[in-house]
Amino acid sequence: MHYFDHAATTPPYPEVIQTLTDIMSLYYGNPSALHRAGEDAAKLLKKAREVCAAALSALPSEIVFTSGATEGNNMAIKGAAMHYQSRGRHLITAVTEHPSVYQAFRQLEELGWEVTWMPVAGDGTVDPAALAEHVRKDTVLVSIMHVNNETGAVQPLEDIGRRIKEKNSRVLFHVDGVQGFGKLPVSLQNWQADLYTLSAHKFKGPKGAGIMYVKQGVQLYPLIAGGSQEGGYRGGTENVAAAAAVAKAMRLSAERQAEFYERARRLRDILVHHIADMPELMLNSSEHGAPHIIHFSYPGLKPEVLVHTLEEGGFLVSTKSACSSKSSEPSRTLIEMGRNADEAASGIRISLGWEHTEAEVRELGAALKSAVAQLAPMTGRKG
C-alpha cells in the first residue's frame, strides 16, 4: 500500500522510535524527583529543550513541551487573551485556520472577546496590508498559520509580522507552524513571532507530543493548573521520552529541510502535471504553495468515492484535513477561497513524504487518471 497522507501524520524516523524505546526503558524517573533517577531524567529533559531551541534559533527557556499543536494553539491563543485582557479584548485571525485555532477563537467570542476574521484570496493567502488596517490599540493577539493544512497555501508571515508590529508593537503574533516545519524555512525572528506551535507527528516524531515557543518576556495564563512544570504553563509530570523524541525529530527535520523541499517540489510538479491533464479535476493548491501538499476537487463526485477507488488500487489519500475528514460538510477553507459548494465538497488532498519516489508518484498519477475515467459516469460525464 502506498501512503500519500503525510499532512495527516508521518511515519516516525527509526531513530525516534529507538529514542523512545531506550528512554522509556532506562530513564523512567520523575524529572521533579530529587534522587539520581529523577536527576537523570531532568538532564535528558534539559538536553531535549536545548536541541528543540537550537532547531528554531531560540533560547531553551523559550521552549514548552506540550501534547501537540491542538493544546499548544489553545494555550497560546486563550493563554495570551486571558493574561493580557487588561490591554483590550480584540483579536485577529484568518477564516481558513485549522480547527484547533478556529474553535479557540470561537470560544473566546462566546466569552465576550471581539474577533476580526480575515478573508483570504483565491490562492488562500491573507493580504498583510488589509490585516494591518484592522490592528487597533486594544488588539491583543494576531494568529496566522504558516501553511494551510488542506491546500498548502503559504502565508506571507514576514510581511504580516512587520506590519502588525509597525501598527502596534505590543500586539502578540502567534504562528501555527504545524505544516511548515521541516518543509519550508522557519525564521521566528524575521516573522517577529511571539508564539509558535508544532506537533511532532507531522515531522516524523511521536503522536501526542509537540512544543510551543514562547518568546522571552511573553506571559500566558496557564490553562492546565498544577505543579510548576514547563515554566508553570503546564502542570503535570513531563513525558521525558516524548520530549527527547520530539527533539530528535526536530533536529533531523531541520537539518534535512532544504533537501526535502527540493525533492518534494519535484514530485509535486509531476503530480500537478497529471492533474492538469484531467479536465474533470480542478486544482486548489497554488503554484507558490508548500511543496508537499496537492489539493484538487472533482466536482460532482463525493470525495470518499475517489478515496476508496484509489485505495483499492493501493494508494492512500485523504479528503481534507484529518481533523475534519469525517465531516460531510463542504470544506470551510475552499468556500472561503471562493469555491462553490460542489467544488468545496469534493476535495482530495495528496501529501508527500521522504519515502516517495518519482516512480511511485507516476504510478499514483496513472491510478488517478484511471479512477477519474472510471467514475466519470457518476458525475454525468462520459468516461
**180, 266: one domain:** no
Bridge partners (DSSP) of residue 66 are: 210
Whole-number Å distance between alpha carbons of 203 and 211: 12
Strand, helix or coil for residue 141:
strand
**120, 78: one domain:** yes
CATH number at residue 139: 3.40.640.10
Whole-number Å distance between alpha carbons of 42 and 36: 10
Q: Pick from 194, 221, 252: which residue ends a domain?
A: 252
**229, 267: one domain:** no
**205, 336: one domain:** no
- pTM equals 0.95
Q: How many domains does the chain have?
A: 2
Q: Count of CB atoms within 10 A of residue 291's CB?
A: 21
Report residue 52 CA to chain centroid gap: 17
Whole-number Å distance between alpha carbons of 258 and 265: 11
* Rounded percentage of the chain residues whose pLDDT exceeds 90: 90
Q: What is the mean pLDDT of residues 50-64?
A: 98
380 in any annotated domain: no
Alpha-helical runs (H) found in 91-239: 99-110, 128-134, 157-167, 188-191
383 in any annotated domain: no
**235, 306: one domain:** no
CATH number at residue 305: 3.90.1150.10
149 in any annotated domain: yes
Whole-number Å distance between alpha carbons of 274 and 284: 14
Is the per-residue pLDDT at 282 higher than 70? yes
Tracing cell 509530570 back to the chain, one arrives at 237
**119, 187: one domain:** yes
The parent domain of residue 341 ranges over 2-7+256-375
**127, 225: one domain:** yes
**237, 302: one domain:** no
Q: Which residues are catalytic?
A: 323
Cβ-Cβ contacts under 8 Å for 248 (sequence gap 6 or more)? 13, 15, 16, 19, 51, 205
Is the per-residue pLDDT at 145 higher than 90? yes
Q: Pick from 203, 226, 252: which residue ends a domain?
A: 252
Q: Pick from 209, 236, 252: which residue ends a domain?
A: 252
Whole-number Å distance between alpha carbons of 167 and 135: 7
Q: What is the pLDDT of residues 199-236, one digit of tens each?
A: 999 999 999 999 999 999 999 999 988 888 998 898 89
Is the per-residue pLDDT at 319 higher than 50? yes
In the DSSP assignment, the letter for residue 201 is G
pLDDT at res. 325: 55
Cβ-Cβ contacts under 8 Å for 60 (sequence gap 6 or more)? 46, 49, 50, 52, 53
